[in-house]
Amino acid sequence: MKMRANIAGASGYAGGELLRLLADHPEFEVGVSAASSNAGELITHLHPALQRYAGVRFVAHDDPALGECDILFTALPHGASADLVNTHPSIAKVVDLGADFRLTSPTAWQEYYGGEHAGTWVYGLPEMLGARALIKESSRIANPGCYATAIALGVAPLLTSGLVESEGIVVVAASGTSGAGRAAKVNLLGSEVMGSMTAYKVGGTHQHTPEIEQTLSYISGKPVTLTFTPFLAPMSRGILAAITLKMTGKHDVAVLRKAFTDMYSKDEFVHMVDVQPATASVYGSNNVHIAVESHPRVGHAVVTVALDNLVKGAAGQAIQNANIMYGFAENSGLTGQGIAP
């Protein structure tokens, strides 16, 4: 018998991606899917691609059935997950795709999100050193943010091997519009986005900044600082990050690349590629594509990373964490490759 997986926030993009991926999962099956304003509507009205759920309706978040499961995935706006989880304390395991439990610092939470800090759960980025053991023993997982996943995976090997400085990291990254959620916003209208790119939340104000610095500081044992400039790109999915780091010496590209292959040699979803990563190549998959170059004249390493913000950046990573928590094969339900073009 399969494990019962319920979803809160199933009407959004990340929630819809959970429904898509879990539909073919060999160990989990979806029980109930909850939504707020869309409670009572057919799932296929909002997610017409998901005909596996034809005739099934969203329930409300206060439906007691939401708590009747082996694992609950919460894909809610920040501040909402903590309240929901507290009303269902008996649920065996929870993976939160929101930000509520990612940060260890109440001060950082207050500065970047506002309101009361709900606490800190185990951070679910499996490819970080020692993370799998912590995830496996935990019943509550904070799923990383999409930008945070791309940047941490792109920086960690160089940082932990001592090949780059820990301070002054510069990141420029572009995200598709689905990263901003499904709510109607003027700046996300097709007429505003098509044929244009724009930066947003510049100058260290993006909410993933403290999460990234916290993660990299923890694994390196040194304070990490970065300048992060995100861009909104005219595409529905994907993240492409370009990361510039000051090298500790004039390392050639072979040395830099070896740090990545050493760290990720047993990780199925992280791939070093010989061409520059493209978001189209990881579309719909849990894969991460990374390339690294050495720029010895100015002493920089340059890392580029591509992933699908709704899969490895959200729902796919949440399922990867759930697989580890239950001792299933880590790639269960996540074997699909990219579907480009």
Which residues are designated catalytic? 146
Report cis status (omega within 30 of 0) of the bond before 341. Answer: yes
Instruction: Say how far apart CA 67 and CA 75 lie, in whole Å.
Output: 15
Using the CB atoms, write b or e for 298-323: b if 16+ within 10 Å.
ebebbbbbbbbbbbbbbbbbbbbbbb
Q: Give whole-number Cα distances, 246 to 34, 36, 227, 242, 263, in Å.
A: 46, 46, 13, 14, 20
Count of CB atoms situated within 10 Å of the CB of 81: 24
Count of CB atoms situated within 10 Å of the CB of 231: 14
Q: Give whole-number Cα distances, 47 to 24, 55, 57, 118, 215, in Å.
A: 16, 12, 11, 31, 34
Instruction: Say how far apart CA 227 and CA 170 lie, in whole Å.
Output: 5
What pairing do the DSSP bridges indicate for beta strands 239-246 and 169-175?
Answer: antiparallel
Contact 211, 102 (CB under 8 A): yes
